[in-house]
Amino acid sequence: MDSGRFETFIDAILAIMMTVMVLKIPQPETLSLSGIMDLSVVYLSYLISFIIIASIWNSHRKLFDKIKKIDNYVIAIYMVLTFIITLVPYFTYWVSGNPYSLAPEICYGSLFILTNVLYLLASHIAVKHDKFNKNSNLDSSRYVNLNLIIYTIFIIGFLIGIYINPIAILISCLLSAIVWNLPLKIINILDNSDTHGY
């Protein structure tokens, strides 16, 4: 199957999700700085979720600039990833309404990590099954060190969230999302690679 149609389909889903998320942000109860500050956790959770979705879109775009053909394995894993990603607006709204409750924080953080793992798996499968365009620059193993950093940040935040303050999970998701978007030059320094990325 040509990857263009599939890429358009994923792009449309991600665009709809971004729109749905922003529509869920409530208006401040009072038109003042304190009214806006009362919604600071809502804005933070929206920012994190937006970064996650935008990161997936950007990585997806770069990957499919190189991959021209996909098969049913790639479609299947991307459908699982898409299912998980479509839960982001729901859990964003839940955690923003209950930022100091452990259950929504754990669910939101777990969704973040599951999204990351599934994206890496989907990318790996897409590269592996691209029989028409073997390109060493698509080797996703270069991101191992980066993901170790992401998972370390998340585990620390998760433990702090469970034992001290649940909002630490949300903050660890933000820090992990920032690391996820490190420029490729920094990634290459982290894994001592001289290859050029996509």
Give backbone dihedrals phi and psi of 2, rounded to 5 degrees, phi first: -70, 135
Cα 80–Cα 86–Cα 89 angle in degrees, nearest 5 = 150
Determine, yes or no, domain membership for 11.
yes
Q: Is residue 107 part of a domain?
A: yes
Degrees, nearest 5: CA angle 53-58-62: 150
pLDDT digits (tens, 9 = 90+) for 66-80: 787 788 888 898 899
Identify whether 182 is part of a domain: yes
Name the residue range of residue 54's domain: 3-190
What secondary structure letter does DSSP report for 134?
Answer: -
Domain assignment present for 178: yes
Residue 197 inside a domain? The answer is no
Residue 54 lies in a domain: yes
Total domains present in the chain: 1
Say if 198 falls within a structural domain.
no
Q: Taking the model in full, what pTM does it have?
A: 0.81
Average pLDDT over residues 44-73: 85
- Alpha-carbon distance 176 to 186, whole Å? 15
What pLDDT digit, counting tens, does each position of 119-153 carry?
888 888 887 777 555 555 555 444 566 778 888 99
Which tens digits make up the pLDDT trace of 86-98? 999 999 999 998 9
* Whether residue 85 has pLDDT greater than 80: yes
Task: Say if 62 falls within a structural domain.
Answer: yes
pLDDT at 186 over 70: no
Lowest-pLDDT range, 55-59, 65-69, 185-189?
185-189
Q: What angle do CA 82, 87, 90 make, to 5 degrees?
A: 155
